[in-house]
Amino acid sequence: MTLVELTLQSRFVQDLPERLIGDKAYDSDKLDERLLRTYGIELIAPNRVDHAPTQDGRKLRRYRRRWKVERLFAWLTQFRRIPVRYEYRIENYLGFLRFACIMILLRCF
């Protein structure tokens, strides 16, 4: 939860997302308000057991689609060079990462 704002500041795309989906660790009213006030981003996170619900079920339907991102990360770990990171230079690592994403996309067609 403490690295959300640092991650948003160090992004490599120019546009900010409208919504940010996080897991139960991101269930914080202060973080919700700070992201909405500072960046204009709506944070969607399911409630922890010990907290009162702060979001309705409509927003949490988007959270259910998070498995697509999790599945991509699982597929990327099948390529040995990606999780271990043998490459010293970041350019080589990003090249292999892009190549792995292309290989995953080609499997779908």
Alpha-carbon gap, residue 92 to 106, rounded angstroms = 21
Following DSSP, what letter does each residue of 28-45 receive, concatenated? Answer: -HHHHHHHHHHT--EEE-
Among 65, 5, 14, 6, residue whose Cα is nearest residue 33: 5
What pLDDT digit, counting tens, does each position of 20-68 carry?
877 777 777 788 888 888 888 888 777 655 555 555 555 666 666 667 7
What tokens appear for 9 in the block? Answer: 């500041």
The structural domains of the chain, with segments of one domain joined by +, span 4-62, 77-108
CA angle 60, 16, 23 (to 5 degrees): 30
Kind and range of the H or E element at 21? strand 19-21
What pLDDT digit, counting tens, does each position of 38-47 carry?
888 888 777 6
What pLDDT digit, counting tens, does each position of 54-103 carry?
555 556 666 666 677 778 888 898 888 888 888 889 899 999 999 999 99
